[in-house]
Amino acid sequence: MQPEIRSPAFFIGQGASAGDLISFGSGQPDLPPPPSAFAVLEHFRQFKYGSVQGELALREAIAKEYPSATPEEVVVTNGASEAIDLVLRAIAVPGARVALPRPYYYSYPHNVELAGMTPVYYELEKGKINFDSFEGAVQGCRAIMINSPSNPTGTVQDIDTLKKIEDLCNNLGIYILSDEVYKDLIYVRENYPMKGKRVVTINSFSKTYAMCGMRLGYFHTLDRALVEKVVEMKSHTSMNTSLISQAMGLAAMGERSTYVAAHVPIWQKRRDIIYQGLRDLGLDLWKPEGAFYVLPKIKNSTRAMHDLYYHHNIITYDGVWFGAPDRLRFSYALDIPKIEEGLGRLKKFLENEYRTYA
C-alpha cells in the first residue's frame, strides 16, 4: 500500500533530479546562486553569536533597496517563513481575523492559526484581486496578506489595485503583510513595493538568489515598535539568523542586477514552454506573469497528484493545499528537457488514468 500524500512536507527536499523523478513540486530554483556567494565559503570564520536583528552590513544593503529606508527598520530572518511567523505573532490579538488571498501560499492559514488568529479569505478571480470584494472581506481585520507575484497563481496584481489597498488599509488601521519573495521574478513590469506606516514588506534570498537552503529572509517596516517586538521574540526563539547565510546573502546582493537580468529570460522561456505545453494538452489555465508556477484545472486533484507520483514518477502539488481544489500546481523550476519529459508523462496520464475520473 503506497503512503497517502497529505501535505507538501512529503515532497520538500526531494531533488528535481533524483533518479527518474520529474519534480514540478517544490518551488526552489534549480539554477546556481551567484558565484560571489560561493566565494564566501572559503574564508568564512565567524562562529560566535551574531546580532539578533541581523548583521548591520546586510541590513544596510537591504535598506538601500527601499526608498529612504534605514537599517533599523530591517530584521533579518530564517527565510521569509520566519518573518511571516514572527510578524503575525508580534501583531496577534487573540481571535482577530487576518485576510488571506485564495488561492494562497499553503503556509499562510497555518501561520495565522499558530499566531492565535483566524484566517478569512478574499477570493482571487483568475489570480487577480477584485477590489470591491476585497474591500468587503477585510473590514474589521487585524491584518491582510498580499502576495504579488503569487505562489501558486503566478499572477501580478495591478499597481492601481495595490495603491487602493494601501489607502484602504491605512485608513482602517490594518497591517499589510506584503510577501514579495518573487519580486525579482516578474515578467510584466518592475515590482511595486507596497508602502505605508503599517506595511510590512517580507522578502527572501530563496528565490531571487536561488539560496533556499541557506534560510535567509528579512522584513522591512516603518513601524519601529513592531521591529523591537519581533527582535525581542527572536532573541527567545531562533536568536540570530545563520551568519554564513548572511555573509553569502550580502555577497550575492552585489551581483543582483546582473544575476536577475540573466535569469528572468530563462524563467520566462520555461514559463512559455510549460504554459503552451499544458494548453496543447487541453488544460485550462491562465498565463503566469511572475514567480514560477502554473495552476491548471484538473478534476479530482488529490487523486491526480497520487496517480502522477506513483504511476508516472512526477511530483505535482495538490491545489487543495492552496485553497484551490480541482487544480494542480506545477513549479517550472527545472530545466527544459525535464519540463518536456514531464509534459510527455502528463500526456500519458491524461490519456489513461484521467479518462476514468468521474
Residues in touch with ligand PLP (CB under 6 A): 27, 79-81, 105, 147, 151, 179, 181, 204, 206, 212, 217
CB 163 to ligand PLP: min, Å:
21
CB 281, min distance to ligand PLP, A = 25
> For 287, which DSSP code?
P
Distance CA 199, CA 193 (A): 10
Backbone angles phi, psi at 87, to 5 degrees: -65, -45
Q: Which is nearer to ligand PLP, 301 or 331 (CB)?
A: 331
DSSP string, 152-197: TT-----HHHHHHHHHHHHHHT-EEEEE-TTTTSBSSS------ST
- Nearer to ligand PLP (CB atom), residue 220 or residue 312: 220
Closest-by-Cβ residue to ligand PLP is: 79
DSSP 227-277: HHHHHHHHHTTT-S--HHHHHHHHHHHTTHHHHHHHHHHHHHHHHHHHHHH
CB 79 to ligand PLP: min, Å: 3
Identify which of residues 263 and 312 has a Cβ nearer to ligand PLP in the complex. 263
CB of 207 to ligand PLP, least distance (A): 7
Q: Which is nearer to ligand PLP, 53 or 206 (CB)?
A: 206
Dist CA 252 CA 99 (whole Å) = 34
Cβ 42 to ligand PLP, closest distance in Å? 25
Residue 334 or 349: which CB sits closer to ligand PLP?
Answer: 334
Say how far apart CA 160 and CA 99 lie, in whole Å. Answer: 20
Our CB check for ligand PLP shows the closer of 215 and 306 to be 215
Q: How far is the CB of 107 from ligand PLP (least distance, A)?
A: 7
